Amino acid sequence: MPSTGPDATATAQQAADDQADPTARSGGRPLLVRTRAELARARAALEGPVAVVMTMGALHEGHAGLVRAARGRGRSVVATVFVNPLQFGEALDLESYPRDLEGDLALLGREGVDVVFAPPVEEVYPGGPPQVRVAAGPLGEVLEGASRPGHFDGVLTVVTKLLHLTRPDVVLFGQKDAQQLLLVRRMVADLSFDVEVVAAPTAREDDGLARSSRNARLDPDGRARAAVLSRALRRGE
């Protein structure tokens, strides 16, 4: 049954406004763009320097910290929300990855993001899975890469595409994904990308567990056990 009342009317009006001009921002809500053409129009209107935060959605306070760091680095901030199928080894893992675009837009709006690029898969990979990809090399075959073959190739391929599409002056990544951060920095240096890569500190829960979108998938026992590594490292230190 369709929604009625003031909220539904406002939503319908916003949708109509967006359709008339997809680069028109509404109130404190960031401009949501879905296509590369819309992104190009929105990007051309931004004042520089432009800072970009790349995410897979299901955002939390850790992402909010990244956006605040981006705001300190750029006059304009772009966030991407895209669940990249290339970096998932199992279809079930991809299907079960948490998604909450409305919640993401609310958080990004509170943090002052200017543009959110949330494309469908076919917009990022219009010809299907890309035949040419970025290879992570030896650094992507150890540690997490050893248990997730091809994962970092998928990460670097989508990061490359998003860097080309958003054209940032600075891009921010969390230190939580340390191997990913190292690989992105190495790729930017090796392939001569004209962008500064900035690391933001890991955001943690009160018990020391690093904030992650996947934490929502832990049952109470798993949630309790997940903080053991952090406590052990701190005691060892």
pTM of the model: 0.82
Instruction: State which residues form the domain around 225.
Output: 208-236
Give the pLDDT confidence of 91-140 residue by residue, as tens digits. Answer: 778 998 999 999 999 999 999 999 999 999 999 999 999 999 999 999 99
Is 5 contained in some domain? Answer: no
Residues 185 and 197 sit within 8 Å (Cβ to Cβ): yes
Q: Which residues are catalytic?
A: 63
Domain match, 215 and 164 both: no
Q: In what order do the strands lie in the sheet with 196-200?
A: 31-33, 115-117, 76-81, 50-55, 170-174, 196-200
Domain match, 185 and 214 both: no
Number of domains in the chain: 2
Most confident of 8-12, 19-23, 86-90, 189-193: 189-193
Is 17 contained in some domain? Answer: no
Domain match, 170 and 219 both: no
Query: Who has greater pLDDT, 90 or 82?
Result: 82
How confident is the prediction for the chain on average, in pLDDT?
88
pLDDT for residue 122: 97
Query: Who has greater pLDDT, 214 or 21?
Result: 214
